[in-house]
Amino acid sequence: MIEIKNLKKEYKEEETSTLALRDVTFSIKKGEFVSIMGPSGSGKSTLLHILSFLDRPTGGSYKFQGKSIDEMTDHELARVRNKDMGFVFQSFNLLSRLTVYNNVEIPLLYSDISPNKRKALVEEAVSSVGLEDKLYTEAGKLSGGQKQRVAIARALVTDPNVIFADEPTGNLDSASGLQVMEILEMLNKKGRTVILVTHETQTAEFANRIIRIKDGMVESDKLITANHLNRGAILK
C-alpha cells in the first residue's frame, strides 16, 4: 500500500537548512498495524505529514497504492486523502457545539452521497465505537475518551483504506487510552491498515511492527509479538 525510498525532507530558512528526514526507506502492506516511534524532534511527525499527503518530500520517492505522488496534483492528493485515509489526532479536532452525528458526518459532506446514505454510514460508524447512545449529544459534553472514540468514528465513516493515528492516547487517562487502543486493534483485525505515531512504548506495542525514527533516519524496523496478557497495565 505504501512504499517510500530514500525519502528526504529539507526545510530552508534564509541561508540555513534543516534536514528533517534523510534516506528513509520502508514499505507498509495492506492490513498491517505499524507504529512509528521516536523522541520529540526525531522527524516522526514530518514523516506522518508526508505519508498522509499533508506535505510533500523534497527528495526520494513515495508510492501510495502503486501510484507515485509526484504524478498527482494537489487536487488529486486531496481527493485520495478524503476517500482513502482516515485521521485520529491527539487533540480530537471535534467541533464542540456540534453533535456526535454532525461531527462524524463532516467528511461525507464533501461527497455526492445522498442524505439517507450518509445517515446510515454515520450511525454505523458511531455504533462501531460503542457510542450510539450519544449520537445526538454535543461533542463538548463528552469525556476525553468518548471524544477520541468519536474521532475514530469520523475516521471510519468514509471507509478508508488506512487510518493514521497521531498520538491518539496523549490527552487521555490510562483507562480511556486503553479503550481507544483496543478499538484501533479491533479495526486492524477486521482488515484496516493502521499507522500509529507515538512516543509511548506500551502504546506502540499494540502494533505488529515498530519503526523507530531518530535524527530523521530509520533507526530500526522490527516485527513484534503483542503481549495480550498485560494489557491492563498499558498506558498506566
E strand or H helix at 33: strand 33-37
Do residues 143 and 173 make contact, with C-beta atoms less than 8 angstroms apart? no
The whole-angstrom separation of Cα 83 and Cα 78 is 9
pLDDT, residue 4, reads 97
**Which residue do the cell numbers 534536514 mark?**
19
Do residues 99 and 137 make contact, with C-beta atoms less than 8 angstroms apart? yes
Q: What are the tens digits of pLDDT across the range 160-199? A: 999 999 999 988 999 999 999 999 999 999 999 999 999 8
pLDDT, residue 101, reads 98
Name the E strands within 42-129.
59-64, 67-68, 85-89
Do residues 44 and 37 make contact, with C-beta atoms less than 8 angstroms apart? yes
pLDDT, residue 13, reads 84
Q: Which of 84, 102, 111 is nearest to 138 (CA)?
A: 102
**50 — phi, psi (to 5°)?**
-70, -45
Residues 6+ apart with CB under 8 A from 218: 24, 25, 26, 211, 212
Question: What residues does 11 pair with on adjacent strands?
Answer: 18
The whole-angstrom separation of Cα 208 and Cα 91 is 25
All 3 cell numbers of residue 9? 525532507
All 3 cell numbers of residue 29? 502492506
pLDDT, residue 65, reads 94
**pTM value?**
0.89
Low-confidence ranges of the chain (pLDDT < 50): 228-236
Region of residue 165 (left: phi > 0; alpha: psi -120 to 50; beta: else): beta
All 3 cell numbers of residue 58? 523534497
